[in-house]
Amino acid sequence: MDLIIGGYAQNKVEYAKNEYSGAFLYENLDINRIIANLKQEDSAKNIIINNLHLVIKELLSGGMNSEEVWQEIRKRMLKLEEHGLNLVLISDEIGGGIVPMDGFDREWREVTGRILCRLAEQAQKVVRIVMGLPQIIKG
């Protein structure tokens, strides 16, 4: 699994498409849809999953706590990896700037940061995109 992070509109998806030529792009971690779209020849292909930060927000909105969100994301990732897929996760960095006044938004920001830290530990490669330029953090 590889992880790509960066601010909003920093060309993370464009970088991923160039770096992982021929990869399939999905805008969320909907494993049922991804698996349904698989063909026999797709195993061992790169799957780019954009907007991980929004997946986290959706799970938190559904009433899960931080650990439950982490476990759900890991479960979905493992399910895809069982199909021989190489995952490339993309997330906006939402931890910078002004701290949100809304309690839910503060929690979302913190949970996202902690999950990204856990994913970075496990990732083979971590890249931060700034102004369209990649910074290799790991790998």
Q: What's the pLDDT at 40? A: 55
Mean pLDDT by 10 residues, the chain (139 residues): 97 96 89 80 78 97 97 95 92 92 96 98 98 96
pLDDT at position 101 is 95
- Residue 41 DSSP one-character state: G
What's the pLDDT score for residue 33?
Answer: 87
Long-range contacts of 97-106 (CB under 8 A, 24+ apart): 104/60, 104/61
| DSSP tag of 124 | S
Q: What was the pLDDT predicted at 41?
A: 53
Q: How far is CA 39 from the centre of its chain?
A: 23
What is the distance between the alpha carbons of residues 80 and 130, in angstroms, rounded to a whole number? 29
- Tell me how far apart the alpha carbons of residues 139 and 17 are, in angstroms, rounded to a whole number: 18
Which phi-psi region, left, alpha or beta, contains residue 84 (left: φ > 0; alpha: ψ -120 to 50)?
A: left
Maximum Cα interatomic distance, the chain, rounded to a whole number of Å: 48
User: What pLDDT score was predicted for residue 61?
Assistant: 97
> CA dist 103 to 3, 63, 66, 109, Å?
27, 14, 14, 10
